[in-house]
Amino acid sequence: QANWLQLLRFTQVLRRWERPNRSLRTMIRYSPGKWGIAFAFSLKGSVFPKACVFAAPAGLLAIVLHYIFRDPQYADAIGVGNLHGGGALGGFYTILGFLIVFRSQQAYSRWWEGGSLLQQMRGEWFNAFSSVLAFCNSSPERSAEVTRFQHLFVRLVSMLYGAALSDVSELVDTNMEFFELTGISNESLSFLQQAHFKSEVVLQWIQRLIHEASGSEVIKVAPPILSRVYNQLGNGIVLLNNAQKLNEFPVPFPVGQMIVFMLMLHWIFTVLVCASTADSPVYAFFEAFVVVIIYWSVHYIAEELEQPFGDDPNDLPIAEMQYDMNESLKDLMSEQARNVPIFDFDMEMHSQLQTKVLSLDEHLGKIRKQVTGEYSEHRKKWNTASAQRSAKRCSRLTRVSMRMCEDQSAPRGSDKGSTAGGEPAPLDKKHQAQPDETLPLGGPPLPDGLLPPPSGAPPPGGTPPALP
């Protein structure tokens, strides 16, 4: 039975939960494909629609001005084709291009740094959680205290990571996944709600919890080794503060103002130049449209990436990161993850240290099918045997109950059901049941109303009760 229970736990560990069918805020993941072209026509997360707001009017206005500039009475007055100021205009375009490219590079660096800091923070806190679980006392006498500590600890770690993501992000919808918080005192949760930074308060709870567990020997480890856990928790909060600077310190206002102002001037100059130099209105439209949409698209890309902790499709997947953290914590809380795997060592085979090339996922999948198949077969046999035992218990209980009812309903003094002294005849040993006796095969005890009176004792109430 113990082996089958162990097999059942192992099967439950292997059975991974499928991702819930709900809309997590995930960033865009795309595949370039064979030629790397098809994905470019997707509009989800694209900056082209926003850039077209400026590019389309620029092309249409270039067509109108092209016809005006081609009118002789306006051409001489305006000086169409006179590009003596082309050098100054070229310098303007160069400075604007440099500023836009520089801002886009800085924006991508901020985006990448934000994701790296959050992943490093997750690694520090997850490693601390794993170490604390490994340090837990394995004594059977302390199992209840250890289990209580582990379940409170996993809830606080999940709350810590979720609170950290909430503190650093600018999400409109702040709903995230947390383990059930029922059981944690309402006073503590109320204090947490009004805290300036919730992650700092939860971190303090975790450190205090570890300290108390170490003092009560729920965690059995030397203090110098346990100090590593505190260092990892502290490293995580430092990484969180570094991530918060990306959210609190945007691009300096003069830089953003100058770029937008130069883009508006660039829009005007581009329309005028394309309308006056193009040979046909079609060329004027496409030249103005393409130049404007390129500059404004690069500008909007920089704006998208400068704040990586928002709700935009190109921002970091904050809610999905919390979900992945909870799934990892669930895996470590399972019985098989907390115990060392059983190793059936064979000196002759294992001492050779042979290697084998295989796919780990496929190999584990075959083992899982084998384990689940054995468990299903055992479960089917167990259900059949259980049904047979239940039927036998019901039949036995029915026979005993009918026998007692017949004995109690027999008239006093009759040959059947009473002795010479007028007392009810006792049941034979085959059907007799005592008040403390339970039926075989784990059946329930008989109800008090169906128990026969002791041998030689008068029935309660003086006369036997009549059958209904």
* Token couple for 393: 């218990």
Angle formed by the axes of helices 281-306 and 253-277, nearest 10°:
170
Kindly tell me if the per-residue pLDDT of 60 is higher than 90: yes
Per residue in 261-282, pLDDT (tens digit) is 999 999 999 998 888 888 888 9
Question: Is residue 145 within 8 Å of residue 218, measured between CB atoms?
Answer: yes
Q: What is the mean pLDDT of residues 240-247?
A: 90
- For residue 267, which of 236, 241, 294, 246 has the smallest C-alpha distance? 294
C-beta contacts of 268-273 below 8 A and 24+ residues apart: 269/89, 269/92, 270/58, 271/58, 271/61, 271/62, 271/65, 272/65, 273/89
**Between the CA atoms of 43, 49, 55 and 56, what dihedral angle is there, to the nearest 10 degrees?**
100
pTM, two decimals, is 0.68
Per residue in 62-91, pLDDT (tens digit) is 999 888 887 776 666 665 555 555 667 788
Angle formed by the axes of helices 223-248 and 198-215, nearest 10°:
180
Per the listing, tokens 């496409």 go with: 286
pLDDT of residue 78: 62
Q: What is the mean pLDDT of residues 414-422?
A: 45
pLDDT of residue 221: 86
Kindly tell me if the per-residue pLDDT of 467 is higher than 60: no
- For residue 134, which of 153, 160, 156, 119 has the smallest C-alpha distance? 153
Kindly tell me if the per-residue pLDDT of 324 is higher than 80: yes
Q: Can you name the residues that pair with 438 across neighbouring β-strands? A: 445
Rounded CA gap, 131 and 141, in Å? 22
Q: What is the mean pLDDT of residues 182-189?
A: 90
Position with higher pLDDT, 303 vs 402? 303
Rounded CA gap, 405 and 446, in Å? 13
pLDDT of residue 354: 82
Over pLDDT 90: what percentage of the chain?
35
Per residue in 129-182, pLDDT (tens digit) is 999 999 998 888 888 999 999 999 999 999 999 999 988 888 777 788 889 888
Position with higher pLDDT, 462 vs 273? 273
Q: How far is CA 183 from CA 146, 148, 180, in A?
A: 16, 11, 9
Per the listing, tokens 């249409």 go with: 60
Kindly tell me if the per-residue pLDDT of 310 is higher than 90: no
- For the ranges 38-47, 103-112, 422-431, 435-444, the one whose mean pLDDT is highest: 103-112
pLDDT of residue 448: 44
pLDDT of residue 35: 78
- For the ranges 187-196, 423-432, 450-459, the one whose mean pLDDT is highest: 187-196
Per the listing, tokens 């629609």 go with: 49
| Dihedral-angle region of residue 36 (phi above 0 means left; psi in -120 to 50 means alpha; beta otherwise) | left
Please state, rounded to an integer, the average pLDDT across all residues of the chain.
78
Q: What is the mean pLDDT of residues 10-27?
A: 44
pLDDT of residue 121: 94
Position with higher pLDDT, 355 vs 427? 355
**DSSP codes joined into one string, 303-361:** HHHH--SSSSTTS--HHHHHHHHHHHHHHHHSHHHHSPPP----HHHHTT-------HH
In total, the chain counts a number of residues equal to 468
**CA angle (66, 68, 73) in 5-degree steps:** 135
Position with higher pLDDT, 90 vs 294? 294
* Token couple for 125: 């806190």
pLDDT of residue 460: 46
Per residue in 367-390, pLDDT (tens digit) is 877 777 765 666 666 677 777 777
- φ, ψ of residue 399 in degrees (nearest 5): -65, -45
Per DSSP, 290 falls in state H
Give the E-state strand segments of 17-62 in sequence order. Answer: none
Rounded CA gap, 327 and 211, in Å? 26
pLDDT of residue 170: 80
Exposed / middle / buried, residue 161 (Cβ in 10 Å: 0-12, 13-18, 19+): buried
- Confidence band, pLDDT 50/70/90 cuts, at residue 220: confident
- Confidence band, pLDDT 50/70/90 cuts, at residue 338: confident
Per residue in 114-140, pLDDT (tens digit) is 999 999 999 999 999 999 999 998 888
